[in-house]
A = this chain, B = another copy of it.
Amino acid sequence: MSLVVMKFGGTSVGDAERMRSVADYVARTVKRGNQVVVAVSAMGKETDELLHLASQVSSTRPGREMDMLITAGERKAMALLCMALHDIGVPSDSFTGSQAGIVTDTEHTKAKIVEVRPERIRKALAEGKVAVVGGAQGVSTDKEVTFLGRGGTDTTAVALAQALGADSCEIYTDVSGVFTADPRVVPEARRLKRLSFDEMLEMCAAGCPKPAMRSVEFARNHGVRLHVRSAFTWEPGTWIEEETSDMEQAIVSAVTSDSSEAKVTVAGVPDHPGVAARLFRALAERSINVDMIEQNVSLAGTTDISFTVPREDLDTACATAEELQDEIEARQVIADKAIATVSIIGAGMKTHPGISATMFETLAAEGINIEMISTSSIRLTCVVRSEVVDQAVAALHRAFELESERTAC
């Protein structure tokens, strides 16, 4: 008998028919002799609708009330899923985050889990029941309802899998796994059978939309194997797990792109110590999440500092830089929305030199200019014009032969 934690996202339970389809699948899993815990998101676009309702009523949107409002979506979904399970003869109980023992800090709208005490879940399982838990929610150390943030249901699932010592944690979603590239951009993109936590994290950071990055970090830190798979076709998907020596080692596993960032260039700054520190401290104080940073020294003794930020933070970032313009003696602050990043990710890159050269050559052969470069041990990211990013992804996917099982370089 295995204990399986299953996570179903909003699209997977988007309407009554989908609810019943998920219930049917859970029932089959139970019938095969497994214990099942389900973490479920709000139905369809309900979270967006609740956020819209809040913005119609209030411009202040206090965190405590936002969390009470938003978690109502998951409560509905979990109750409905339990009803659907009852209907087909599967005993089940629903549990709020609080009832499931998910204790968080007091940071409303983006609470972090501090402890999981799943006594009621264990009891339900011992009674032969399926436990359905409302995703992305918990109870804070001062007894308030908290929301874990967007994508928090993945975290709920992973945290429960860890606390319960589950045999696997299955992330059911509207895609059938993690791909070598976005199949809409690269028709030859291939579903990956396995991926290491580190690769998945780099992919999340570089624009791959599923699963939520925080849940992968949590899974890696606690050694919880994830299986990302489809709630529509139910076929096996992609396993995300600890990198092992016997793992078939791809040099490059995937190509991702991200068009959600913008670039700021602070041009003509005197090449003094402390200038960058002053600038990035000011940005940090405004909670702006700076991603890539590049600094070039020109011959004239001045330097250009470029950095990328989430597009929605661009105006604040530019205003911050402009406020400092006189102090740091910058010549100009330039905002650029028309950029995108393209990344290659692979655990094998660590031990294979020459990958970066192949990437740069490939882009050059396409006539694509590289504006910024950033690297980690298993990722290489280039900033390019946003209009050529799909072309860059397709070219790199071909260059690294990702359409076939083994990657060559």
Contact = CB atoms under 8 A, between A and B. Distances in A.
A210 interface: no
8 contacts: A58-B83, A58-B84, A58-B86, A60-B86, A61-B86, A64-B94, A65-B94, A69-B76
Nearest to A23: B57
Contacts of A82: 62, 64-65, 68
Place the interface of chain A in its size category.
35 or more
Contacts of A87: 57-60
A79 B65 contact: yes
A220 interface: no
Give the oligomeric copy count.
2
Given A16-B56, A20-B57, A87-B59, A69 B65 contact: no
A50 B43 CA distance: 12
Given A50-B76, A57-B80, A72-B73, 6 more contacts: A54-B83, A58-B80, A62-B82, A65-B79, A68-B78, A68-B94
B68 A86 contact: no
A93 interface: yes
Contact of A75 (B58, B68, B84): B68
A19 interface: yes
Interface of A is mostly: helix
A66 interface: yes
Contacts of A86: 58, 60-62, 65
A53 interface: yes
A145 B86 CA distance: 18
Interface in A46-105: 50, 53-54, 56-62, 64-66, 68-69, 71-73, 75-76, 78-84, 86-87, 93-94, 96
Contacts of A66: 79, 83
Nearest to A59: B87
Nearest to A69: B79
Contacts of A96: 68, 145
